[in-house]
Structures are given as structure tokens and as C-alpha cells.
């Protein structure tokens, strides 16, 4: 039976559960019953978790501008930031290493090997496999990956 991964983030609460479908369903239901029955968003919680503005003056932020607003020091950080950019500004649920590579070219900061950067980020637990997309392996950021990107965006 195929393993599945479910990532749930609400406010400051986030959890990621992986395993076979029955186990994940059971754990997500337990967690929802335990933690979300009394959860109500406070007025102090931001509706948008992204630190870098998606739109300025009605115009979308480009991938190059997004990278400039960060403290990314290497191609792994840039790949993670561009994955975050795709998820938060483009609304995609998953992306391929080719899409990350193309965004790097568009931002005039090409990657030596985007597949290698994505593989390293997956090994570090900052990205995870998210099935297939157009015949290629697709990826998504983990909760840890999102947290790391937000630190890159808020420290500059």
C-alpha cells in the first residue's frame, strides 16, 4: 500500500503525518479532535503567513524581487524560496525541479543543477515528494521548510 503524507497548518499550529492511508486518516482525525475543536483564530493572527508582499501597488512581486528581499546565500536557499514563491503567490500545491530551474533563469540567478538542490532540500526535510506532475516527480515544502523560508524573508 502506498504511503501518504498530510501537512496541516493553522495559525502557529502545524503537523505533518506520514504513513499508510489508514494510519494517516486515524492520526489526522485524532489530532483534529484533540486540538482543533477549541481552536478559534485570534484577531492578532495574520491571515497571510508570507513575510514578503505578494503584491505591491496592485502588481505581483516577481521571482527576482522575492529573492532580493531575502537573505538567501546559496542555491539550496534560492530553490526553497522559489518553491515557497510558487506555493504562496502562484497558488500551486506542488512543483517540479524543472519549474524551479526555470524560475531561477527568469530571475537571472540560474541553478547549476536544480534537481540536486531539490534532492538536498528533501533530504534535509525542508521539501517532500508530492507525487508526479507532467511526468516528473513533484515536490512541496514541509512545515519546516516554510518556517525556514520565513526566517530568510524576515531577517533582511
Strands 136-141 and 127-133, how do they pair?
A: antiparallel
Mark residue 139 as left, alpha or beta (left: phi above 0; alpha: psi -120 to 50; beta: remaining). Answer: beta
**pLDDT at residue number 9:** 67
Q: Angle at CA 6, nearest 5°, toward 15 and 55?
A: 80
- Residue 22: which H helix or E strand, with range? helix 21-31
Question: CA-CA distances (angstroms) from residue 50 to 28, 47, 61, 99, 146?
Answer: 25, 9, 12, 20, 9
- pLDDT surpassing 50 at residue 88: yes
Contact partners, residue 136, CB within 8 Å, separation at least 6: 96, 97, 98
**pLDDT at residue number 49:** 42
Strands 127-133 and 95-96, how do they pair?
A: unpaired
pTM of this prediction exceeds 0.85? no
Mean pLDDT for 60-70 is 83
Contact partners, residue 82, CB within 8 Å, separation at least 6: 63, 66, 67, 100, 103, 104, 107
pLDDT tier for residue 20 given thresholds of 50, 70 and 90: confident
Amino acid at each position: 500500500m502506498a504511503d501518504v503524507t498530510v501537512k496541516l497548518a493553522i495559525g502557529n499550529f502545524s503537523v505533518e503525518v506520514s504513513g499508510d492511508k489508514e494510519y494517516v486518516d486515524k492520526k489526522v482525525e485524532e489530532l483534529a479532535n484533540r486540538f482543533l475543536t477549541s481552536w478559534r483564530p485570534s484577531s492578532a493572527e495574520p491571515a497571510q503567513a508570507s513575510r514578503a508582499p505578494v503584491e505591491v501597488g496592485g502588481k505581483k512581486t516577481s521571482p527576482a524581487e522575492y529573492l532580493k528581499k531575502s537573505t538567501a546565500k546559496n542555491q539550496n536557499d534560492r530553490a526553497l524560496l522559489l518553491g515557497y514563491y510558487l506555493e504562496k503567490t502562484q497558488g500551486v500545491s506542488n512543483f517540479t525541479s524543472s519549474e524551479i530551474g526555470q524560475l531561477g533563469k527568469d530571475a537571472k540567478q540560474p541553478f547549476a543543477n536544480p534537481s540536486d538542490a531539490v534532492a538536498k532540500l528533501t533530504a534535509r526535510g525542508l521539501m517532500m515528494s508530492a507525487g508526479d506532475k507532467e511526468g516528473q516527480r513533484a515536490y512541496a515544502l514541509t512545515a519546516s521548510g516554510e518556517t525556514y523560508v520565513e526566517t530568510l524573508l524576515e531577517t533582511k
